[in-house]
Structure formats: C-alpha cells, structure tokens
Chains A and B, each alone.
Chain A
Amino acid sequence: MADNDRLIFFWGRECPHCAKLHPTVTEASSELEKPITELEVWHSDENATLMRTYGDVLKKACGGSLGVPALYNERTQKALCGMRVTKEDILKWARE
C-alpha cells in the first residue's frame, strides 16, 4: 500500500539550485523521525505526474508556476519552494 504521508523533495537533475539545496535537505532529513523522500522530476514521468497532482499548492509556493527545488508535505499539504529554503524552514515544515 502506498505511503501517502510522505515528506517529498522534488528536484531536477540539471537544476543547479536543486544541487545546492540537496545537502541541506539531506541534513534536515537526518534529523527527522521520518526521512524525506527524494523524487527527480525531469527524468521520471511517474514523479512528474505526482508533482503535478500537488500543482495548486506547489505553484503558489513557487511564485506562480511549478518549480524545483520544492518540498511537499503530504500530511499538512504545505509546500516550500526555491533555493532560499533553509534547514530550519525544512524542519519546521516537516514537524508542523
């Protein structure tokens, strides 16, 4: 049965901001009880489709269009987006 209570990090392989944010996400994930699931979206139709299902929330967080890097909390349905996200932002978003 699919886990619908995930903390998801949507990222793109050729997105430089995603690469920069990646260590921050990894560090935050290591401090959480539930690790963050990392899903690459430009090279996986399945992951892209999942990201689009959360499109309304993600678009708002990303300034109007879908963007990466983006984080989506399936439990709270809240999102973070962009390269300026901090570890503290992620921990707060995950534990809310």
Chain B
Amino acid sequence: MTKEAHARKKAWRCNVCNDIHYGIKGPEICPTCGARNAFALIDHPEAMKVLIDRGERLDQEDQLLDVWQRFAKDKPFRLNPDEPFVRQLARGEIENQKNHGLKYCPCRMTTGDYEDDLDLICPCNFFIQPVYKETGECWCGLFVKR
C-alpha cells in the first residue's frame, strides 16, 4: 500500500458495539453487530482506549499455524505442507515480534521506515509479488498455490 493511502486511513468506531475499524472509511455494515451506517470518526487516543487488551497473544508456533490455516481456507493458495519449514518461519516471526515489534517475514528485511515496513508483516500481500506469479509461492514459501 502506498504511503498516500496509509495517510488517508483513520479510526472509526461503531456507535452500537464499539467495534474499531482502521481505514479510509468505516464499514457500511458492522461485522460484529450488523448495525448499518454506525461508524463514526474518532481519533487515535480514543481508538487505543476502546481496544481492550485482555492479554491474549499470538506468540506461539501452534497459534500461528492455526491462524495461517484459517487464512488460507477456501483460498486459491494453501499453507505449505512442509511443517518443519512452516514452523521455522513461525519461530522467525515470533522472534521478530519480540525483537522488532511486529511479525515481519524472516525472509525479508526491514528498511527502517516504519510505514514502508508495514508491507513486510506476515501474511503480506504476496499476490502482487513477481515471485508468486512466477513460482506459485510467496516470497518465503509459507503459502503455495493449490
């Protein structure tokens, strides 16, 4: 995503159930409560306060594998069936989150520009990568075409 598009994103809050959405506009239908046209523009501090941290973390290998399986369900790609390979990537992402703050792909490298580096969080938008078009795998090989 371009920096211009990132810059246009705002925080929105559903006035019925307090869902938070981050984007150029709020969803027409709230995905949680189904309310229509319920999202109002809010600011960053309010968004951060509305999000309740119950201490749940996705920082275990098995959790990531489950997230990736669910992400790939009914998609034209699947999780790489080589489980040891996938687990190594999971360990790398957990390590990167611990050391660098986000689950950056261990087969990429950050530039130091925070906004640019958002594109390196796994799962990335691998459909646009030349390597996915050429080989049927994302850059790190976590997802492969069915």
Chain A residues with a Cβ under 8 A of chain B:
10, 12-19, 41-43, 48, 51-52, 55, 62-68, 82-83
Contact = CB atoms under 8 A, between A and B. Distances in A.
Interface of B: 85, 88-89, 91-93, 95-96, 99-100, 106-112, 119-120, 129-131, 139-141
A38 B120 CA distance: 23
Chain A contact residues: helix, strand, loop or mixed: loop
Contacts of B85: 16
Contacts of B88: 14, 16, 19
A63 B139 contact: yes
| Chief secondary structure at chain B's binding surface | helix
8 contacts: A15-B106, A17-B107, A18-B107, A42-B92, A51-B109, A52-B112, A67-B107, A82-B131
Given A10-B109, A15-B107, A65-B120, A42 B96 contact: yes
Contacts of B89: 14, 16
A93 B107 CA distance: 21
